[in-house]
Structure 1
Amino acid sequence: MGHRVLVVDDDPTVSDVVRRYLEQAGCEVRLAADGATGLAAIAAERPDLVVLDLMMPGIDGIEVCRVLRRQLPALPIVMLTALGEEADRVLGLEVGADDYVTKPFSPRELVLRIRSVLRRSAGADALADSAPTVLTDGDLTVDTGRRTVTLGGRQLGLTVREFDLLVFLLSSPGRSWSRADLLSKVWGWQFGDQSTVTVHVRRLREKIERDPAEPRRILTVWGVGYRYETTGA
């Protein structure tokens, strides 16, 4: 893949396995054993993607993710969560992880997830390529080539998945999509936890809606999923 990946995990066995598989895939890999070291490494040399363990002593993965989302909103983050607990997965997504893999995990699956996030981060995904260069809805403007979003002239900090979800929905206004559809079309998953979509929609509403509790753009279609409605502004 030819990308720089930072793995932040306090378990040396897990870190070593992830490192070996990513190096086999062509990545340049750096390791950090705790959150503070990881943040310092990112500040010194920004990687293309961070693999971040959720549970670590000291500064845990949740706090690291919060800090990174304030400082580097577009930096791709894949979270490692233990035991597949839904609360852990949702919490990781809530604070801004683009994707997650549950422990114990298949290293090959992790590499595939990382490939997917990096492709979208680079704008090489066919979905983004086939969309118009600029999408607009009133004071909302999405530039798919530059991967930027502005609202009322102010640039928003969207994560990789938030951006892709917004492009997909805005490209077909008025059409309803189920959560399973969105998992397939935006995430590239044929199966998975549909709460991933729910959390990303909620986060996206918080950034583009005047009142996230009463959304005008991304609407819930009860019993189906979601649709985008242009504001007509």
Structure 2
Amino acid sequence: MKGRSDPAELAREFVELNQYLSSGGERGAALQRLVDAAVIAVPGCRWAAVTVWRERRQPRTLAFTAEIARAVDQIQYDLGDGPCLNAALDDQPVHSPDLDDDDRWPQFRRATRAATPVRGVLSFHLSDGPDRTALNLYSDEPAAYTPDAITMASLFAAHARVLLLRAESAERAAQLSGALTTSRQIGAAVGILMNVHKITADRAFDLLRTTSQALNRKLNAVAEDVTQTGALPRKQQTQE
């Protein structure tokens, strides 16, 4: 991204990220590009991170620009309180212009100011289930996020929400494609075993399953061997 606070350049960046995901790019790499872009696009932002918080699980950081961002996220996870967790739960942005003058999260404030140079926080809710997600923007100066900067950050977060939906959609499509491939392989292997051994489909599937357990290999890997060789794989004999 060439210039700060340029909506047109920001839009182009997200177009490229969406194209990256459409061409099979990894979600994690796209999120890393997202937080890297946030530091460039949002005036006052020194560090950025993405928090994901699945129900009944501990929150975690998926991408971050520097160890400081990850450390501030972790302080909140350890305490169970802080702006990024509030943003993950609520659809409203959470802004702390100066942690030294903010009493909302006293333990978080003390721990963050003692361990890091972070003074300001701006967090945005990005998505709900299955993962509640927040974008966290950190500054090292008080009042770093001016009204114009907050407007730019809000625009950035809006683009990020669309990107996250695209990433989740691409991930689901890849998982479905993989599941369909596995299902076809198993079905083909069952058919081969039925024909070779003159047995029922249930019996052929049992042969696949017991072979998988005996060899400590995944069922689809055993099925792939059957489709390639026409026979169940056997345990390799060691040479004396």
- TM band (smaller chain): under 0.3
Q: Which has the higher contact order (CA 8 A, sep 6+)?
A: 2
Give the structure with the larger helix fraction.
2
Query: TM-score scaled to structure 1, two decimals?
Result: 0.25
Give the structure with the larger strand fraction.
1
Larger Cα Rg: Structure 1 or Structure 2? Answer: 2
